[in-house]
Amino acid sequence: MITLRQLAIGYGATPLFPPLSGQFTAGSLTAVVGVNGAGKSTLLKTFAGLLPPLGGSLSFSGGKPPRRAYLPQQAELDRQFPIAVSDLVAMGCWPQSGMFGGMNKRATSQVNEALANVGMSALARSPVGELSGGQLQRVLFARLLVQQAPLILLDEPFTGIDSATTQILLQAIAQLHRQGRTVIAVLHDMSMVAEHFPQALLLTPQACHWGAAERVLEQVPRYRAERQPDLRAVAP
Ligand SMILES: Nc1ncnc2c1ncn2[C@@H]1O[C@H](COP(=O)(O)OP(=O)(O)OP(=O)(O)O)[C@@H](O)[C@H]1O
Protein backbone atom coordinates (compact mmCIF):
# COMPACT_ATOMS: atom_id res chain seq x y z
CA MET A 1 0.00 0.00 0.00
CA ILE A 2 2.82 2.45 0.88
CA THR A 3 6.13 2.05 -0.90
CA LEU A 4 9.22 3.94 0.26
CA ARG A 5 12.14 4.33 -2.11
CA GLN A 6 15.28 5.81 -0.55
CA LEU A 7 13.01 8.05 1.52
CA ALA A 8 14.95 10.74 3.40
CA ILE A 9 13.17 12.91 5.95
CA GLY A 10 14.01 15.73 8.34
CA TYR A 11 13.93 19.47 8.69
CA GLY A 12 17.32 20.71 7.47
CA ALA A 13 19.68 19.46 4.84
CA THR A 14 20.69 16.39 6.87
CA PRO A 15 18.20 13.49 6.99
CA LEU A 16 17.37 12.11 10.44
CA PHE A 17 18.23 8.51 9.48
CA PRO A 18 19.67 6.72 6.42
CA PRO A 19 17.43 6.57 3.33
CA LEU A 20 14.62 4.12 3.92
CA SER A 21 13.23 1.66 1.36
CA GLY A 22 10.47 -0.88 1.87
CA GLN A 23 6.75 -1.41 1.91
CA PHE A 24 3.87 -1.21 4.35
CA THR A 25 1.52 -3.79 2.88
CA ALA A 26 -2.23 -3.19 2.97
CA GLY A 27 -3.66 -4.33 6.28
CA SER A 28 -0.31 -4.45 8.07
CA LEU A 29 0.08 -3.40 11.72
CA THR A 30 3.48 -1.80 12.36
CA ALA A 31 5.10 -0.18 15.39
CA VAL A 32 7.70 2.54 14.75
CA VAL A 33 10.33 2.57 17.51
CA GLY A 34 13.58 4.38 18.29
CA VAL A 35 15.12 6.66 20.89
CA ASN A 36 13.92 10.22 21.52
CA GLY A 37 14.68 12.40 18.53
CA ALA A 38 15.15 9.45 16.14
CA GLY A 39 12.55 10.89 13.76
CA LYS A 40 9.48 8.76 14.51
CA SER A 41 7.00 11.65 14.68
CA THR A 42 8.62 13.27 11.66
CA LEU A 43 8.12 10.05 9.68
CA LEU A 44 4.46 9.92 10.68
CA LYS A 45 3.97 13.58 9.72
CA THR A 46 5.53 12.80 6.35
CA PHE A 47 3.09 9.91 5.87
CA ALA A 48 0.23 12.20 6.93
CA GLY A 49 1.21 14.63 4.16
CA LEU A 50 2.18 17.38 6.61
CA LEU A 51 5.88 17.42 5.68
CA PRO A 52 7.55 16.91 2.30
CA PRO A 53 10.35 14.32 2.09
CA LEU A 54 13.90 15.66 1.78
CA GLY A 55 14.65 13.04 -0.86
CA GLY A 56 13.53 9.76 -2.36
CA SER A 57 9.88 8.96 -2.74
CA LEU A 58 6.76 7.81 -1.01
CA SER A 59 4.11 6.25 -3.22
CA PHE A 60 0.70 4.77 -2.59
CA SER A 61 -1.02 1.93 -4.39
CA GLY A 62 -3.76 3.40 -6.52
CA GLY A 63 -1.53 6.35 -7.38
CA LYS A 64 -2.80 8.87 -4.86
CA PRO A 65 -2.67 8.94 -1.05
CA PRO A 66 -5.59 7.10 0.59
CA ARG A 67 -7.72 8.82 3.23
CA ARG A 68 -5.55 9.01 6.32
CA ALA A 69 -6.59 9.25 9.97
CA TYR A 70 -3.75 10.83 11.95
CA LEU A 71 -3.60 11.02 15.75
CA PRO A 72 -0.80 13.40 16.79
CA GLN A 73 0.85 13.42 20.19
CA GLN A 74 -1.50 14.82 22.83
CA ALA A 75 0.74 17.79 23.56
CA GLU A 76 -0.04 19.10 20.08
CA LEU A 77 -3.79 19.30 20.70
CA ASP A 78 -5.73 22.31 21.93
CA ARG A 79 -7.73 21.17 24.95
CA GLN A 80 -9.46 24.53 25.41
CA PHE A 81 -11.43 24.47 22.15
CA PRO A 82 -15.07 24.81 23.33
CA ILE A 83 -16.76 21.72 21.93
CA ALA A 84 -18.75 18.78 23.30
CA VAL A 85 -17.37 15.24 23.16
CA SER A 86 -19.91 13.95 20.59
CA ASP A 87 -19.36 17.01 18.34
CA LEU A 88 -15.60 16.42 18.40
CA VAL A 89 -16.15 12.78 17.39
CA ALA A 90 -18.63 13.86 14.69
CA MET A 91 -15.87 15.94 13.09
CA GLY A 92 -14.42 12.57 12.02
CA CYS A 93 -17.42 12.20 9.66
CA TRP A 94 -16.55 15.38 7.73
CA PRO A 95 -14.38 13.68 5.09
CA GLN A 96 -17.46 11.68 4.08
CA SER A 97 -20.34 14.08 4.82
CA GLY A 98 -18.60 17.44 4.19
CA MET A 99 -18.28 20.14 6.83
CA PHE A 100 -21.81 21.46 6.25
CA GLY A 101 -23.35 18.13 5.27
CA GLY A 102 -25.05 17.79 8.64
CA MET A 103 -25.36 14.63 10.69
CA ASN A 104 -27.61 12.06 9.12
CA LYS A 105 -28.90 9.03 11.03
CA ARG A 106 -26.01 6.86 9.87
CA ALA A 107 -23.36 9.35 10.98
CA THR A 108 -25.08 9.80 14.35
CA SER A 109 -25.14 6.06 14.95
CA GLN A 110 -21.46 5.80 13.89
CA VAL A 111 -20.57 8.46 16.49
CA ASN A 112 -22.60 6.69 19.19
CA GLU A 113 -21.08 3.33 18.34
CA ALA A 114 -17.53 4.72 18.38
CA LEU A 115 -18.12 6.36 21.78
CA ALA A 116 -19.50 3.08 23.13
CA ASN A 117 -16.46 1.21 21.77
CA VAL A 118 -14.13 3.37 23.85
CA GLY A 119 -16.40 3.44 26.92
CA MET A 120 -17.26 7.14 26.63
CA SER A 121 -21.04 7.12 25.96
CA ALA A 122 -21.85 8.58 29.39
CA LEU A 123 -19.75 11.70 28.71
CA ALA A 124 -21.04 12.35 25.17
CA ARG A 125 -22.41 15.83 26.06
CA SER A 126 -19.50 16.89 28.28
CA PRO A 127 -17.20 19.70 27.16
CA VAL A 128 -13.86 18.38 25.93
CA GLY A 129 -12.05 20.79 28.27
CA GLU A 130 -13.37 18.87 31.29
CA LEU A 131 -11.94 15.49 30.27
CA SER A 132 -8.94 13.79 31.85
CA GLY A 133 -5.99 12.94 29.60
CA GLY A 134 -7.10 9.31 29.29
CA GLN A 135 -10.71 10.26 28.57
CA LEU A 136 -9.59 12.73 25.90
CA GLN A 137 -7.46 10.07 24.25
CA ARG A 138 -10.46 7.71 24.14
CA VAL A 139 -12.55 10.44 22.51
CA LEU A 140 -9.84 11.15 19.94
CA PHE A 141 -9.74 7.44 19.17
CA ALA A 142 -13.53 7.46 18.70
CA ARG A 143 -13.10 10.30 16.19
CA LEU A 144 -10.46 8.22 14.43
CA LEU A 145 -12.83 5.22 14.27
CA VAL A 146 -15.63 7.18 12.57
CA GLN A 147 -13.21 8.45 9.92
CA GLN A 148 -13.15 4.90 8.47
CA ALA A 149 -9.80 5.67 6.84
CA PRO A 150 -7.82 2.83 5.26
CA LEU A 151 -4.56 4.26 6.67
CA ILE A 152 -4.28 4.99 10.41
CA LEU A 153 -1.31 6.90 11.85
CA LEU A 154 -0.93 6.98 15.64
CA ASP A 155 1.80 9.00 17.36
CA GLU A 156 2.50 7.67 20.86
CA PRO A 157 -1.17 6.89 21.57
CA PHE A 158 -0.44 5.42 25.04
CA THR A 159 1.94 7.97 26.51
CA GLY A 160 0.64 9.23 29.86
CA ILE A 161 -2.49 7.09 29.57
CA ASP A 162 -3.97 4.91 32.36
CA SER A 163 -3.90 1.14 31.97
CA ALA A 164 -7.69 0.73 31.54
CA THR A 165 -7.64 3.20 28.64
CA THR A 166 -4.56 1.52 27.19
CA GLN A 167 -6.37 -1.84 27.13
CA ILE A 168 -9.43 -0.32 25.45
CA LEU A 169 -7.31 1.42 22.82
CA LEU A 170 -5.29 -1.75 22.16
CA GLN A 171 -8.58 -3.54 21.51
CA ALA A 172 -9.63 -0.75 19.14
CA ILE A 173 -6.33 -1.09 17.26
CA ALA A 174 -6.76 -4.87 17.03
CA GLN A 175 -10.25 -4.29 15.63
CA LEU A 176 -8.92 -1.85 13.00
CA HIS A 177 -6.32 -4.48 12.07
CA ARG A 178 -9.00 -7.18 11.73
CA GLN A 179 -10.96 -4.81 9.47
CA GLY A 180 -7.97 -4.72 7.12
CA ARG A 181 -6.83 -1.15 7.83
CA THR A 182 -3.13 -0.35 7.59
CA VAL A 183 -2.03 0.86 11.02
CA ILE A 184 1.32 2.54 11.79
CA ALA A 185 1.91 3.53 15.43
CA VAL A 186 4.85 5.21 17.17
CA LEU A 187 5.47 3.40 20.46
CA HIS A 188 7.98 3.43 23.31
CA ASP A 189 6.93 0.30 25.21
CA MET A 190 8.88 -2.58 23.61
CA SER A 191 6.97 -5.30 25.50
CA MET A 192 3.74 -3.88 24.11
CA VAL A 193 5.23 -3.95 20.61
CA ALA A 194 6.29 -7.58 21.08
CA GLU A 195 2.86 -8.58 22.31
CA HIS A 196 0.55 -6.66 19.98
CA PHE A 197 2.41 -5.62 16.82
CA PRO A 198 3.42 -8.16 14.14
CA GLN A 199 5.72 -5.70 12.31
CA ALA A 200 8.20 -3.11 13.57
CA LEU A 201 10.38 -0.39 12.11
CA LEU A 202 13.37 0.70 14.22
CA LEU A 203 14.89 4.08 13.35
CA THR A 204 18.45 4.95 14.37
CA PRO A 205 20.86 7.52 12.89
CA GLN A 206 23.11 4.67 11.71
CA ALA A 207 20.61 2.19 10.27
CA CYS A 208 16.95 1.28 10.10
CA HIS A 209 15.61 -2.21 10.80
CA TRP A 210 12.25 -3.23 9.42
CA GLY A 211 10.38 -6.53 9.48
CA ALA A 212 8.89 -9.03 11.92
CA ALA A 213 8.69 -7.36 15.33
CA GLU A 214 10.50 -10.09 17.26
CA ARG A 215 13.52 -9.84 14.94
CA VAL A 216 13.57 -6.04 14.87
CA LEU A 217 13.31 -5.82 18.66
CA GLU A 218 16.47 -7.91 18.98
CA GLN A 219 18.26 -4.82 17.64
CA VAL A 220 17.04 -2.69 20.58
CA PRO A 221 19.71 -2.93 23.33
CA ARG A 222 17.29 -2.00 26.14
CA TYR A 223 14.81 -4.69 25.08
CA ARG A 224 17.57 -7.30 24.74
CA ALA A 225 18.87 -6.43 28.22
CA GLU A 226 15.37 -6.64 29.75
CA ARG A 227 14.89 -10.10 28.30
CA GLN A 228 18.22 -11.50 29.51
CA PRO A 229 16.86 -12.72 32.89
CA ASP A 230 14.09 -14.65 31.06
CA LEU A 231 16.65 -16.27 28.79
CA ARG A 232 18.79 -17.26 31.77
CA ALA A 233 15.70 -18.71 33.49
CA VAL A 234 14.99 -21.11 30.62
CA ALA A 235 18.64 -22.00 29.97
CA PRO A 236 19.56 -25.58 30.96
N1 LIG B 1 9.55 21.59 13.47
C2 LIG B 1 10.83 21.21 13.62
N3 LIG B 1 11.83 21.94 13.11
C4 LIG B 1 13.12 21.54 13.23
N5 LIG B 1 13.51 20.40 13.87
C6 LIG B 1 12.54 19.65 14.40
C7 LIG B 1 11.15 20.01 14.31
N8 LIG B 1 10.43 19.05 14.93
C9 LIG B 1 11.32 18.14 15.40
N10 LIG B 1 12.57 18.50 15.08
C11 LIG B 1 13.80 17.75 15.39
O12 LIG B 1 13.82 16.58 14.56
C13 LIG B 1 14.33 15.47 15.30
C14 LIG B 1 13.34 14.34 15.26
O15 LIG B 1 12.16 14.75 15.96
P16 LIG B 1 10.92 13.76 16.14
O17 LIG B 1 9.89 14.49 16.92
O18 LIG B 1 10.53 13.21 14.82
O19 LIG B 1 11.58 12.59 17.01
P20 LIG B 1 10.87 11.35 17.74
O21 LIG B 1 11.63 10.14 17.36
O22 LIG B 1 9.42 11.35 17.46
O23 LIG B 1 11.17 11.71 19.26
P24 LIG B 1 10.30 11.47 20.60
O25 LIG B 1 10.39 10.00 20.91
O26 LIG B 1 11.01 12.29 21.63
O27 LIG B 1 8.89 11.94 20.36
C28 LIG B 1 14.64 15.98 16.71
O29 LIG B 1 16.00 16.26 16.79
C30 LIG B 1 13.82 17.24 16.82
O31 LIG B 1 14.45 18.18 17.67
Indicate whether 48 and 158 sit together in one domain: yes
**Given this model, what pLDDT does residue 223 score?**
83
Verify that 204 and 88 share a domain, yes or no.
no
The reply to whether 54 and 157 lie within a common domain is yes
157 and 227 housed in the same domain: yes
Does the beta carbon of 68 lie inside 6 Å of ligand 1?
no
Domain count, the chain: 2
Q: Do 110 and 17 belong to one domain?
A: no
Considering the domain boundaries, does residue 201 fall inside one? Answer: yes
User: Are residues 197 and 86 part of one domain?
Assistant: no
CB 183 within 8 A of CB 152: yes
Judge if 7 and 122 occupy the same domain: no
Asked if 140 and 92 sit in the same domain, the reply is: yes
Instruction: Let me know if residue 1 belongs to a domain.
Output: yes
Domain presence at residue 168:
no
Instruction: Indicate whether residue 204 lines ligand 1 (CB < 6 A).
Output: no
Are the C-beta atoms of 219 and 209 separated by less than 8 Å? yes
Residue ID of nearest Cα to ligand 1 atom 3: 11
Q: What ipTM score was computed for the predicted complex, to two decimals?
A: 0.97
Dist CA 8 CA 203 (whole Å): 12
For the domain that residue 193 is a member of, what is the CATH number?
A: 3.40.50.300
72 belongs to a structural domain: no
Q: By C-alpha distance, which of 34, 39, 36 is closest to 17?
A: 39
Same domain? 55 vs 88: no
The per-residue pLDDT for 81 is 76
Looking at ligand 1, which residue's alpha carbon is closest to its atom 1?
11
- Interatomic CA distance for residues 143 and 61, integer angstroms: 25
Q: How far apart are CA 148 and CA 228, in angstroms?
A: 41
Choosing from 9, 40, 158 the residue with most ligand 1 atoms within 8 A of its CB, the one to mutate for a pocket test is 40
95 and 24 in a common domain? no
15 Cβ below 6 A of ligand 1: no
Q: Residue 112: exposed, middle, or buried by beta-carbon count in 10 A (0-12, 13-18, 19+)?
A: middle
Q: How much distance in Å is there from the Cα of 136 to the middle of ligand 1?
A: 24
146 CA distance to ligand 1 middle (Å):
29
Which residue out of 7, 9, 11 has the highest number of ligand 1 atoms within 8 Å of its CB and is therefore the one to mutate? 11
* Average pLDDT by stretches of 10, the chain with 236 residues: 95 93 97 95 96 95 91 73 90 68 76 96 94 92 94 94 94 94 96 96 96 95 75 55
Among 108, 128, 149, the domain boundary falls at 149
50 lines ligand 1 (CB under 6 A): no
- The pLDDT, as a whole number, for residue 11 is 94
pLDDT value at position 99? 53
Q: Would you state the pLDDT for residue 15?
A: 95
Distance 11 CA to ligand 1 centre (A): 9
* Residues of the domain holding 138: 77-149
My answer on whether 40 and 157 are in the same domain is: yes
Same domain, 145 and 81: yes
